[in-house]
Amino acid sequence: MADALKIGIAGLGTVGASLARILTTRANELAVTCGRAIEITAVTARDRSRDRGADLSRAEWFSSPEELAEKADIDVFVELIGGAEGTADRSVRAALARGLHVVTANKALLARCGVELAAIAEEKGVLLNFEAAVAGGIPVIKALRESLTGNTISRIYGIMNGTCNYILTRMEKEGLSFEACLKEAQRLGYAEADPTFDIEGNDTAHKLAILTTLAFGTRIAADQIYLEGISNISIEDIHAAADLGYRIKLLGVAQRTESGIEQRVHPTMVPHDSVIAQVDGVTNAVAIESDILGELLMVGPGAGGNATASAVLGDIADIAKSRPGAQRVPVLGKPAASLEVYQQAQMQSHEGGYFIRLTVLDRAGVFANVATQMAQNGISLESIVQRANGGSASDAKTIILVTHATTEDSVRKAVAGIKGGNYLSGEPQVIRIERPKAF
């Protein structure tokens, strides 16, 4: 059997501890599968005394990730610290500079400087693997980077944040408050260290930026994503969506359009009978529409210790099985230097259906004015309903509109016209509708 693969783990939180437990309890099976043992040779974590349920007594402890990356006698640096800058960034760069392979779950870091890191890894002839960075345990990176080679991808979209999906599901099914669901997601180890990254959509945006690059061969453009989180979604929206045959999900969507690539993260209404609408709780789903294969939908656990550790382990095993000096799969699907310049499609030209919920004063002519604003902006309506007792003010009514396909620009203009009518008693709610093709 070949020499053991020596790994150093930086970060022993939820994911790092799960990884350490799996590597120690399944050491024999992994050695047979990979043709060599995988040994945790070095570790670093903020709290050294915590019991992680794994025997780390033979691993050398380092005082910081940077020190581990620079000095440990290892083949692979496993970064499970998180954060777009600082320690994670410095230690990954130090490891690559030394010619170590790197495995990371850090979507924020890759979204910020993934192309640069990929170029360094390629120059050094080492692997930079990051399956765990997107959609937890779902092997979507491998699917895009390897399995779909040669396909032209037209759209990639999905539920990529377990925390948000968990919150939306429990609000809908159990009528729990947003805050109670978020607390539970934190307790279960799904949420980011700062959960606003989850609920405001930044975490999904980081993941989408990485998928866009792999799907379309363009440079990472995380700062050019249209972003809306779920903190504005109320139980009224969830119920109204259900009445109309939809469910609300936080989706990340990237698609080719005639004017460039559209990248957007926002609460989205999906038809109730679509598969993605049935994806509940912490589960993630990623759909890929391509010309040769057609539509591929991958569904699986999206967050939490074991789901994420499973993806990290797969990346480590790939390195253990790889032969020294062998040709490497380019980190981002094609060589970093050949990634194209990202051309952004403007959000105003986004086309699709819209759900609009208005809380209006109960006055003569209001309904007619709403309809006029729609007509003046060329928006054709699929349905329009008015409900009693839906508003916050005592004489308020709720009007819910669902449009046929129109443009973002038209909807914004119509909503601005409605706001100018001085009959609203609350902020209008606008939710985009996304229609899956095959599923």
Residues 159-198 that bind ligand HSE (CB under 6 A): 161-163, 190-192, 198
- DSSP category for residue 192: -
Interacting stretch for ligand HSE, rule CB under 6 A, among 2-10, 33-41, 147-155, 157-165? 157-165
**Cα 206 to Cα 197: distance, rounded to the nearest angstrom:** 10
The residue (of 192 and 289) whose beta carbon lies closer to ligand HSE is: 192
The residue (of 39 and 198) whose beta carbon lies closer to ligand HSE is: 198
The residue (of 42 and 133) whose beta carbon lies closer to ligand HSE is: 133
The residue (of 55 and 194) whose beta carbon lies closer to ligand HSE is: 194
Residues 256-285 that bind ligand HSE (CB under 6 A): none
The helix/strand/coil state of 185 is: helix
Minimal distance, residue 68 CB to ligand HSE, in Å: 23
The residue (of 82 and 353) whose beta carbon lies closer to ligand HSE is: 82
Site string for ligand HSE, 373-412 (x = CB under 6 A): ----------------------------------------
Minimal distance, residue 11 CB to ligand HSE, in Å: 14
Q: Which of 64, 25, 21, 22 is nearest to 43 (CA)?
A: 64
Site string for ligand HSE, 282-321 (x = CB under 6 A): --------------------xx------------------
Minimal distance, residue 429 CB to ligand HSE, in Å: 24
Residue with tokens 């550790």: 309
Cβ–Cβ under 8 Å, residues 78 and 19: yes
Range 320-323, long-range pairs (CB < 8 A, 24+ positions): 320/5, 320/30, 320/34, 320/35, 320/36, 320/38, 321/34, 321/35, 322/127
Residue 199 pairs in a beta bridge with: none
Minimal distance, residue 336 CB to ligand HSE, in Å: 23
The strands making up 60-61's β-sheet, listed across from edge to edge, are 60-61, 38-44, 5-10, 76-79, 101-104, 128-129
**Cα 150 to Cα 139: distance, rounded to the nearest angstrom:** 18
Interacting stretch for ligand HSE, rule CB under 6 A, among 24-32, 89-97, 155-163, 210-218? 155-163
The residue (of 168 and 240) whose beta carbon lies closer to ligand HSE is: 168
**Cα 417 to Cα 438: distance, rounded to the nearest angstrom:** 37
Q: Is 413 a catalytic residue?
A: no
Minimal distance, residue 101 CB to ligand HSE, in Å: 22
The residue (of 119 and 191) whose beta carbon lies closer to ligand HSE is: 191
Q: Which of 223, 227, 255, 299 is nearest to 156 (CA)?
A: 255
Minimal distance, residue 186 CB to ligand HSE, in Å: 10
- Total binding residues for ligand HSE by CB under 6 A? 11
Residues 94-153 that bind ligand HSE (CB under 6 A): 136
Taking each helix axis as running N to C, give the angle between helix 87-97 and helix 107-124, from 0 to 180 degrees, rounded to the nearest 10. Answer: 10
Minimal distance, residue 162 CB to ligand HSE, in Å: 4
CA 12 to mean position of chain CA atoms? 22
N residues, the chain: 439
Minimal distance, residue 370 CB to ligand HSE, in Å: 37
The residue (of 191 and 339) whose beta carbon lies closer to ligand HSE is: 191
* φ and ψ of 365, to 5 deg: 90, -10
Q: Does 14 bind ligand HSE (CB under 6 A)?
A: no
- DSSP category for residue 331: T
Cβ–Cβ under 8 Å, residues 182 and 163: yes
Tokens encoding 66: 């940077």
Q: Which of 361, 384, 382 is nearest to 371 (CA)?
A: 384
Among residues 207, 249, 321, 437, the one annotated as catalytic is 207
Could you give the C-alpha distances from 229 to 117, 160, 264, in angstroms and in order? 28, 13, 11
Could you give the C-alpha distances from 434 to 82, 252, 297, 353, 380, in angstroms and in order? 31, 11, 15, 7, 17
Minimal distance, residue 37 CB to ligand HSE, in Å: 29
The residue (of 163 and 410) whose beta carbon lies closer to ligand HSE is: 163
Active site residues: 207
Q: Which residues bind ligand HSE (CB under 6 A)?
A: 136, 161-163, 190-192, 198, 203, 302-303
